[in-house]
Structure 1
Amino acid sequence: MLSPSISAAETSDAVRRNISSFRTHAWEDHFDTLGVGVIISDTSSKVLQHWTADGEMRLYPTSVPMSEELTRRGYTEVVEKRENPSWAPTPSMRERNPEWPARIPGGDPENPLGTRALYLSWQYYRIHGTQDTRKIGRRSSNGCIGLYNEHIEEVFDRVPVGTQVKLI
């Protein structure tokens, strides 16, 4: 039942204004074949879609780069996978944040890569977990795509090296 102070038209408008920016993509619009699998990460709607070679698709909420200058878009691929990866800031991160440590070992609760990382063919760019779950759904990274640790662990197990990736 509607509140006496809200009309049906106002409720309808509220619903329309409250539509999520979340959207999905068809892999066929971006790749010729599924190959060993496909990942599309949409930096606007902050969602990662993963298709296995047999066409099964799953969705995951993500964190994305803080700014356009840190955002890289285009085609790449998974070239390496690491469990409990160590983390080292890039040279530009060290320049912006000289107080940051030179390296944080894997498994450390302060490690920003979380429990798993997919290394892309672009230097310094990763799809990885995060210990800081507040970052998911936000523009909060220095260039990488972040997932909840339990989600990156699932993706990690499903994604072979050679998986095609597109960041849009």
Structure 2
Amino acid sequence: MSRSLARLVLPITLAVIGLAPAAAATFTLPTDGSTVVGQVLVVEPTGNNTLPDIARHYDIGYEEIARANPEQSVWTPHGAVVVPRQFILPPKPWQGVVLNIPQRRLYYFPATTKGQPPQQVITYPISIAREGWSTPLGATRIKAKFKDPAWFVPKSIRDEHLREDGVELPEYFPPGPDNPMGMLAMQTGFPGIFIHATNRPWGVGLRTSHGCLHLYPEDAAQIFPQMKVGTPVRVIDEPVLVGNDGGRWVMATFEPVDEYPDKVPLEQRVAQALSTVPLPPDEIDQERVTQLTTTPQPVPVALSASELGLDDWLSELPVEPYNFEPYGIDANNALLPRLPASEEIELP
């Protein structure tokens, strides 16, 4: 996204009250050869919670929770809701930031003692570029960090909004809760591409940007102070992931991004991924593979026919009550969500 920034330093402390905090997805990296972290949850919401409410609480994006619950109403879910909080890690190297565009997810591997491998991974859902736009693939670094950025809207984006939405954007957004850049932004070495918060958090997990990667405001507040200038960033296009979950070989698939050139057909990507799985071909459940190829599924599915299929596996998970208050439409801005007084958040 071609965006100009004004670095306006306006220290802001948000001590706000009301909601339970989102569950940041921080995991210890496996040391037994596994490449899967986290666990799938099944919850039963009460009150007026929506799928986006549940997704934000568990640090999941819109596309992830919608794909995991194809039969659920987005706005009035009832009964069991699957929370796809188990992740197949991206291909190594595990260092710095890895952004998997089709997965719509950022992985951050914090540096440890010099010369030692990372011990943790922190992962966040992201919004990716809208149709007709794309984020460059390849390696870069964090070039600069901005607190309370202002945004000078490029003419190309103003023209696009006017043409497609009939909305004339202002030429300038000052720092504040209505700024599309959010309150924290990290500039990459790719021209005009930032990893930043957003004033429309309900769009996290969708295709909403012009190349930038959008984070929930609370996720930006967590990662911003940790990520140093110079942190390596790798952007990948991996719509098919296979992983070792403690000896259980699994696969997850995501909607391919058509804007990238030389796109390999999804069927071929699946075949390439399966070639790395040390299971006899006749042991792999081809019906599950076909389903994963035709219908993206963020929940890792067991490949071996001797393991439970997705529906049976999910049916064995306990159902936990989800009693948190909805975020509400008032939370659709760049501010941090309301938290209990004991959970005060301060923007870095």
1:40 positional shift: 0.7
Distance of aligned partners of 1:124 and 1:91 in 2 relative to their CA distance in 1, 3 Å threshold = farther
Q: Does 1:114 align with 2:182?
A: yes
Residue deviations 1:21-44 (CA, integer Å, cap 9, x gap): 954214417xxxx4xxx1011111
Larger Rg: 2
Residue deviations 1:71-124 (CA, integer Å, cap 9, x gap): 3222111110011111122342133235211111112x2211112000111221
Structure 1 runs (4+) deviating above 4 angstroms are: 17-22
Query: After the TM superposition, which residues 62-141 of structure 1 pair with which residues of structure 2 at under 5 Å, given as runs?
Result: 62-67=126-131, 69-97=133-161, 99-107=168-176, 109-141=177-209
Which residue type is aligned with residue 85 of structure 1?
A: P
In structure 2, the residue matched to 1:150 is: 218
In structure 1, the residue matched to 2:232 is: 164
Q: TM-score, normalised by structure 2?
A: 0.39
Question: How many angstroms apart in 2 are the aligned matches of 1:19 and 1:167?
Answer: 25
Question: How many angstroms apart in 2 are the aligned matches of 1:81 and 1:131?
Answer: 18
Which residue type is aligned with residue 53 of structure 1?
A: A
In structure 2, the residue matched to 1:28 is: 93
Distance of aligned partners of 1:167 and 1:93 in 2 relative to their CA distance in 1, 3 Å threshold = same
1:19 positional shift: 10
Unaligned runs of 5+ in 1: 1-14
Distance of aligned partners of 1:23 and 1:135 in 2 relative to their CA distance in 1, 3 Å threshold = farther
Unaligned runs of 5+ in 2: 1-67, 71-81, 113-117, 163-167, 237-348
1:131 positional shift: 1.8
Q: Give 3-state SS (helix, strand or coil) of 1:131's partner.
A: coil
Q: Give 3-state SS (helix, strand or coil) of 2:151's partner.
A: coil
Percent identity over the alignment? 28
1:143 positional shift: 1.0
In structure 1, the residue matched to 2:6 is: none
Question: How many angstroms apart in 2 are the aligned matches of 1:44 and 1:22?
Answer: 14
Which residue type is aligned with residue 25 of structure 1?
A: P
In structure 1, the residue matched to 2:242 is: none
Distance of aligned partners of 1:28 and 1:137 in 2 relative to their CA distance in 1, 3 Å threshold = same
Q: TM-score, normalised by structure 1?
A: 0.77
The answer to whether the Cα contact below 8 Å between 1:41 and 1:167 also exists between their aligned partners in 2 is yes
**How many residues were matched structurally?**
145
